[in-house]
Amino acid sequence: MSDQPDAAAGPAPAGAAPAQDDGKLDPALMRLCLTVMLGAIMVILDTTIVSVAIRDLGKEFDTSLSTISWVTTGYLLALAVVIPMSGWAVERFGATRMWNISLALFVIGSALCGLAWSAPALVVFRILQGLGGGMIMPICMTLLARAAGPQRIGRVMSIIGVPTLIAPVLGPVLGGVIVDNLSWRWIFYVNLPIGALALFLSWRVLARDDRGSANHRLDVPGLALISPGLAAVVYGLSEAGNGGGFGNVKVELSIITGLVLLVGFVVHALRARTPLLDLKLFGNKDFSVASLATFVIGAMLFGAMFLLPLYYQVARGQSGAMAGLLMAPQGIGAMIAMSISGPIADRRGPGYVVPVGMALALIGTLPFTVVGAHTNEVWLAAVLFVRGLGFGASMMPAMGAAYATLSPGAVPRATTTLNILQRVGGSVATALVAVELQHGIANRLPGAGSGNMLAASGTKLPDSVAGKVAEAFGATFWWVFALSAVGLVASLFLPRHPPAPAAAPAAEPTPVREPVAVD
């Protein structure tokens, strides 16, 4: 029999009977959701905003694209290194303390990025920013999973999932506006007021007696294996996506080295008493299936998020801001589906919700496999709306299913695992579609590399050229379609019953303080 979470949330008594759940979230839990959502929005927005400004940064510092791309690569490497430590840090120092430290690091890193005087300085400050940002999402999920309990996890995850899908849509628009009208430095300065507000609300809302356990030791051998292993894999994938391709010796060596280190970590983790990542969690069938679904959904989301703006900018000659606006229907669909899917998943079980969402995402992806340079934009908007409905109905219920049968003590380790899977899934898919798109353009337009196409983004291409570029995008979208199909199959094995009620726990600090007036 699986362990059930026994942490109650909010000011309600810890042993409250599940029958009293009226389908609404209490005010204290809503305040927690809004507080941690600010951190999530800040991190995800930062990633998408910076991607729009890469060309401007290269011009500002008079450096090559391969050098300035480390503004993104260094950030991703920092995320990969620090995520495995988040579960241990929460258990050792407490979720609230680590949340505040992570926010402070991210805000300080953002301010320093805005003050950067050279490309190397900017890369170093982005790494600092990534060290803080890498722990924000795992700690966010830990706080919410502990507070919500199994019966409310679907609704809570649906709320916090909004920035995950909306920020990648708003990011390119906001980034385009900033780059066109303000200094590139404001791409980083925009994080400062959001971070300051998040820190203030954290002080007012989160518990102050969450101190962790001094007896929880860091798995140093595990950290020495998994962090550089993940970093090597992410670096290899990033270099492949930047134009090196998977046949490049540097890419192959990096990925192989990373995989060897990760295999070594698996062997170590299965033998260690307190491993950095608890691989025994995968002995739980529901957690394993939900983890696979989370990996695939991350791959589907970020793979398409890489392709869609480029399709609008390169094949159709749209500006970065307009490309972001054309992607807005996906975010709108996600918001609508999230408001419905969470309560249904809590009442009926994720197995009734996630497959429907994955099917909608599959349907919404298929038309892009035959997209052209002049495909009707209204039709594409409708298709993206359907795709957004699919993501909104599947992403957070799938992640919530992973928590539903775990004990509170396993939540930090499960959160770390899920975040690693989602980010690695996104990295793999992004590198895969980048390489496929590069090859597709080169095969259809010999002598016109993807770099030339990107340099021409935002300008109208001749119809003969634009048509072939659009064909390359369509062929690449088949990979996203295939990932969607894998996700649909995996979702069919999710539990089709509501989460069992939480057992009445022994007295323990709740992660949310009693209601406090913030005015």
Q: Which pLDDT band, with edges at 50, 70 and 90, does 25 fall under? A: low
Q: Rounded to whole angstroms, how far apart are CA atoms 393 and 340?
A: 8
Residue 229: its H or E element: helix 220-239
* Cα–Cα nearest to 359, from 497, 206, 488, 510: 488
Q: What is the pLDDT of residue 17?
A: 38
Residue type, 230: L
pLDDT, position 69: 65
Complete DSSP assignment for 69-136: THHHHHHHHHHHHHHHHHHHHHHHH-HHHHHHHHHHHHHHHHHHHHT--SHHHHHHHHHHHHHHHHHH
**Tens digits of residue pLDDT in 42-79:** 887 777 677 667 667 777 787 755 566 677 767 777 77
Cα–Cα distances (Å) from 356 to 226, 287, 351, 361, 376, in that order, read: 35, 19, 9, 9, 26
pLDDT at 382 over 90: yes
157 pLDDT higher than 80: no
Question: Residue 425 and residue 79: Cα distance in Å, rounded?
Answer: 14
Structural domain boundaries in the chain = 25-218+276-491, 219-275
Confidence of residue 163 (pLDDT cuts 50, 70, 90): low
Identify how many contiguous H helices and E strands the chain contains and give both numbers. 19, 0
Q: Distance between CA atoms of 438 and 433, rounded to whole angstroms?
A: 8
What are the phi and psi torsion angles at 512 (to 5°)?
A: -125, 135
Pick the CATH number of 25-218+276-491 from 3.30.1050.10, 3.40.50.12160, 1.20.1250.20, 1.10.10.10: 1.20.1250.20
Tokens at 416, concatenated: 């770390």
335 vs 6, more confident: 335
Cα–Cα distances in angstroms (integers) from residue 218 to residues 114, 184, 221, in the given order: 34, 39, 9
The answer to pTM > 0.75 is no
Structural tokens at position 453: 């196409």
- Per-residue confidence band for 362, with pLDDT thresholds at 50, 70 and 90: very high
pLDDT digits (tens, 9 = 90+) for 252-266: 898 899 899 999 988
pLDDT of residue 518: 38
Amino acid (one-letter) located at 64: S
Chain segment 280-338, per-residue pLDDT in tens: 888 888 888 888 888 888 888 778 877 887 788 778 877 767 777 788 788 788 878 87
Which is more confidently placed, 54 or 195? 195
The candidate with the shortest Cα–Cα distance to 483, out of 358, 368, 311, is 358
Sequence-distant (6+) residues with CB within 8 A of 80 are: 134, 227, 230, 231, 233, 234, 423
Higher pLDDT, 513 or 153: 153
Confidence of residue 277 (pLDDT cuts 50, 70, 90): confident
As a whole number, the mean pLDDT across the chain is 76
The neighbouring-strand residues paired with 512 are 206
